[in-house]
C-alpha cells in the first residue's frame, strides 16, 4: 500500500511538473503521464503499456525535432484515434511527426536502432542477408516517402487538408486517383510500412524490393498522369 501511495504521488508530481505548456518533458515517464492524462480513457495495468506503445522512442524523437513540450505536442494528441488495440498512442504520434517532414524518417530510424526493445540481446554480426535487407529497406522507405509526397500534393490540389499521418485508404478513395485494385495494393504496402517503421516485423529483402518497386510504379503513374480536377 505504501508503495502504491508513493507511485501515485510520483505520478501527480510528474503531472504537476508538465502542467505548464512550455515546460519540456524531463523524461519518457513524464511524457507517458501526460499521454495518460490527455489522451482519454485507456486500459489500466499492463494493458496501458500496450496502449501507450514505445513512449521512450517518441520522447527521443520529440527532443530531437524540438517538440518536447505539452503545448507543442497538443495538436498531435488531438488527432489521436481511439483504436489503441490496433495503433498504440506513441505509434500514432510518431507517424504524424514522420508525415510532416520526411527527413524525420532517418532521425527516427537512428533512434530505434540505438534503443532496441527492452530485453533484446546484442544484435549479431550483420551477415550478407542482413546487409541485403538493410539495402532493400532503404529503397522501400525512400519509395514510400515519394508516394506520400505525391499523394499530399494531389490532396492539396483537390482542396482537402491531408490530416492523416500518411495516405489513408479513406483519403485515397476520396480524392479518386487510384482504382480499387491499386488502393488495396497500397493498403497492403502501407501495413508493411507500419511494421517496418515501428520495428514490429521486417520482411525479407525480396519482399521489400518488390513492394518498393510496386509503390515506385504507382508514384510514377501519379506524377506522369496528374488527375484532372473534378
Whether 229 is covered by a domain: the verdict is: no
Give residue 58's pLDDT band: very low, low, confident or very high (50, 70, 90).
very high
**For residue 143, what pLDDT band results from cuts at 50, 70 and 90?**
very high
* Same domain, residue pair 169 and 217: yes
- Do 142 and 39 share a structural domain? no
Q: Residue 122 falls within a domain, yes or no?
A: no
Alpha helices per DSSP H over the chain:
2-17, 28-38, 46-52, 55-65, 70-78, 89-100, 104-114, 128-157, 169-175, 180-197, 205-224
Same domain as 12, residue 103: yes
Which pLDDT band holds residue 46 (cuts at 50, 70, 90)?
A: very low
Based on the fold, state whether residues 145 and 213 are members of the same structural domain: yes
Of 21-25, 78-82, 134-138, 213-217, the poorest mean pLDDT is in 78-82
**What would the mean pLDDT of 70-92 be, rounded to a whole number?**
80
Name the grid cell of 96.
504524424
- Does any domain span residue 207? yes
User: What does the pLDDT read at residue 85?
Assistant: 56
pLDDT band at 73 (very low <50, low <70, confident <90, very high): very high
What distance in Å separates the CA atoms of residue 136 and residue 134, rounded to the nearest whole number?
6
pLDDT at residue 95 greater than cutoff 70: yes
**Closest C-alpha to 102, from 65, 136, 69:** 65
Instruction: Retrieve residue 177's grid coordinates.
Output: 486517383
For residue 178, what is the DSSP state?
S
Counting every residue written for the chain, the total comes to 230
Under the banding of pLDDT at 50, 70 and 90, the label for residue 21 is low
Does some domain include residue 12?
yes
In a domain, 121, yes or no: no
Q: In the prediction, which pLDDT does 20 show?
A: 58
Residues 108 and 137 in one domain: no
- 202 and 109 in one domain? no
Category of 39 on φ-ψ map: left (φ > 0), alpha (ψ -120 to 50) or beta: alpha
pLDDT of residue 119: 47
Q: Kindly indicate the confidence band of residue 47, based on its pLDDT and cuts at 50, 70 and 90.
A: very low
98 or 40: which leads in pLDDT: 98
Residue 162 reports pLDDT greater than 70? no
How confident is the model at residue 48, as a pLDDT? Answer: 54
Please indicate, yes or no, whether residues 176 and 77 belong to a single structural domain of this protein. no
User: Which cell is 220 given?
Assistant: 510514377
Shared-domain flag, residues 110 and 132? no
Nearest C-alpha neighbor of 136 from the set 43, 210, 195: 210
Residues 133, 95 share a domain = no
> Which band of pLDDT confidence, cut at 50, 70 and 90, is reported for residue 112?
confident
Please report whether residue 120 resides in a domain: no
* Residue 147 sits in the same domain as residue 78: no
Listed residue (99, 224, 229) closest to 176, CA to CA? 229
Pull the grid cell for residue 100.
510532416
- pLDDT at residue 149 above 70? yes
Question: Which of 61, 86, 114 lies at the terminal end of a domain, its last residue?
Answer: 114
User: Which of residues 114, 144, 164 is at a domain's end?
Assistant: 114
Note whether 12 and 79 are same-domain residues.
yes
Query: 64 burial class (0-12, 13-18, 19+ CB within 10 angstroms)?
Result: middle
Q: Is 176 in a helix, a strand, or coil?
A: coil
Write down which residue in 114, 149, 176 finishes a domain: 114
Provide the domain limits for residue 153.
128-224
* Residue 91 predicted with pLDDT over 70: yes
> From CA 5, how far away is CA 12, in angstroms rounded?
11
Question: How far is 181 from 143, CA to CA, in rounded Å?
Answer: 19
Cβ contact 148:222 at 8 Å: no
pLDDT value of position 114: 82
What pLDDT shows up at residue 83? 56
Q: Please give the tally of structural domains in the chain.
A: 2
> Which H/E stretch holds residue 20?
none
CA 78 to each of CA 55, 81, 97, 152, 221: distance values in angstroms, whole numbers, following the listed order: 17, 9, 13, 21, 34
pTM: predicted TM-score of the whole model, two decimal places = 0.65
What is the rounded average pLDDT of the residues 112-137?
69
Same domain, 37 and 72: yes
Amino acid at each position: 500500500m505504501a508503495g502504491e501511495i508513493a507511485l501515485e504521488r510520483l505520478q501527480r508530481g510528474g503531472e504537476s511538473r508538465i502542467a505548464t505548456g512550455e515546460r519540456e518533458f524531463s523524461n519518457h515517464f513524464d511524457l507517458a503521464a501526460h499521454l495518460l492524462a490527455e489522451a482519454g480513457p485507456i486500459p489500466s495495468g499492463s494493458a496501458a503499456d500496450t496502449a501507450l506503445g514505445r513512449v521512450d522512442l517518441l520522447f527521443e524523437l520529440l527532443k530531437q525535432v524540438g517538440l518536447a513540450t505539452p503545448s507543442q505536442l497538443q495538436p498531435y494528441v488531438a488527432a489521436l484515434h481511439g483504436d489503441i488495440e490496433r495503433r498504440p498512442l506513441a505509434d500514432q504520434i510518431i507517424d504524424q511527426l514522420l508525415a510532416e517532414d520526411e527527413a524525420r524518417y532517418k532521425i527516427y530510424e537512428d533512434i530505434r536502432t540505438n534503443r532496441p526493445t527492452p530485453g533484446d540481446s546484442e544484435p549479431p554480426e550483420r551477415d550478407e542477408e542482413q546487409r541485403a535487407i538493410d539495402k532493400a529497406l532503404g529503397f522501400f522507405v525512400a519509395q514510400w516517402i515519394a508516394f506520400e509526397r505525391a499523394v499530399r500534393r494531389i490532396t492539396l490540389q483537390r482542396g482537402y487538408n491531408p490530416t492523416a499521418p500518411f495516405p489513408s485508404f479513406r483519403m485515397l478513395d476520396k480524392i479518386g486517383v487510384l482504382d480499387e485494385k491499386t488502393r488495396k495494393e497500397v493498403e497492403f504496402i502501407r501495413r508493411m510500412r507500419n511494421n517496418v517503421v515501428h520495428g514490429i516485423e521486417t520482411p525479407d529483402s525480396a519482399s521489400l524490393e518488390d513492394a518498393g518497386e510496386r509503390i515506385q510504379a504507382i508514384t510514377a503513374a501519379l506524377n506522369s498522369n496528374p488527375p484532372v480536377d473534378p
